[in-house]
Amino acid sequence: MTAQDGSLPLEGLVVADFSRVLAGPLATMTLADLGATVIKVERPGSGDDTRSWGPPFSATGSTYFESVNRNKQSLCLDLGSEEDRGLARELARRADILVENFKPGGMERLGLGYEELAAENPGLIYASISGFGTAGGAGLMGYDFVVQALGGLMSITGESDGPAMKAGVALVDVLTAKDATLGILAALTARHRHGRGAHLEVNLLSSLQGALANQAQAYLGAGVVPGRMGNDHPSIAPYQLLNCADGPLAVACGNDTQFARLAGLLGLDPLATDSRFATNTARVTHRQELTRQLESVLATDTAAAWQQAFSAAGIPAGRVCGIDEGIAYAEELGLEPTIDVQDATGATVGRQVRHPISWTPSFPARTQAPPLLGEHSERLREWLRS
Are 290 and 374 in the same domain? no
pLDDT of residue 216: 97
Of 319, 350, 375, the last residue of a domain is 319
Q: Is the peptide bond before 55 cis (omega within 30 degrees of 0)?
A: yes
DSSP SS3 for 199:
strand
Does 114 share its domain with 206?
yes
Q: In the chain, what percentage of residues exceed pLDDT 70?
A: 98
Q: In the predicted model, is pLDDT for residue 156 greater than 70?
A: yes
**Tell me, what DSSP letter sits at residue 372?**
P
User: Which 3-state string (H, E, C) describes 284-329?
Assistant: HHCHHHHHHHHHHHHCCCCHHHHHHHHHHCCCCEEECCCHHHHHHH
Q: Is the pLDDT of residue 5 over 80?
A: no
Residues 195 and 255 in one domain: no
pLDDT of residue 302: 98
| Across 237-263, average pLDDT | 97
Write down the mean pLDDT value for the chain. 96
Q: Does residue 126 fall inside a structural domain?
A: yes
Domain count for the chain, please give it. Answer: 2
My answer on whether 281 and 133 are in the same domain is no
**Taking 80 as the threshold, does the pLDDT of residue 48 lie above it?**
yes
Domain region containing 181 = 3-211+341-385
What confidence tens digit (pLDDT) does each residue in 316-362 have? 999 999 999 999 999 999 999 999 999 999 999 999 999 999 999 88
Output the CA torsion 276→280→286→289 (10° steps): 80
End residue of a domain, out of 319, 351, 373? 319
Residue 220 lies in a domain: no
Whether residue 333 is contained in a domain is answered as no
Q: Does a structural domain hold residue 326?
A: no
What percent of the chain is modeled with pLDDT above 90? Answer: 96
Evaluate whether residue 122 is within a structural domain.
yes
pLDDT at 6: 53
Residues 282 and 195 occupy one common structural domain: no
CATH number of the domain where residue 263 is located = 3.30.1540.10
Res. 202 pLDDT band, cuts 50 70 90:
very high
Same domain, 42 and 133: yes
Confidence of residue 7 (pLDDT cuts 50, 70, 90): confident
Quick one: 73 and 168 in the same domain?
Answer: yes
Position 328 in a domain: no
| Residue 181 included in any domain | yes
Q: Do 362 and 286 have their domain in common? A: no
pLDDT of the residue at 3? 38
Quick one: 315 and 347 in the same domain?
A: no
Residue 4 has pLDDT above 90, yes or no: no
Same domain for 151 and 71, yes or no, is yes
Give residue 364's pLDDT band: very low, low, confident or very high (50, 70, 90): confident
- What is the C-alpha separation between 297 and 268, in angstroms, rounded? 9
For residue 219, is it within any domain? no
| Secondary structure class of 240 (helix, strand, coil) | strand
Cis peptide before 361 (omega within 30 of 0): yes
Q: What is the pTM of this model?
A: 0.94
Please check whether residues 246 and 188 belong to one and the same domain. no
Indicate which residues carry an active-site annotation.
173
pLDDT reading at 72 higher than 50: yes
Same domain, 90 and 137: yes
Task: Please report, for the domain that includes residue 16, its CATH number.
Answer: 3.40.50.10540
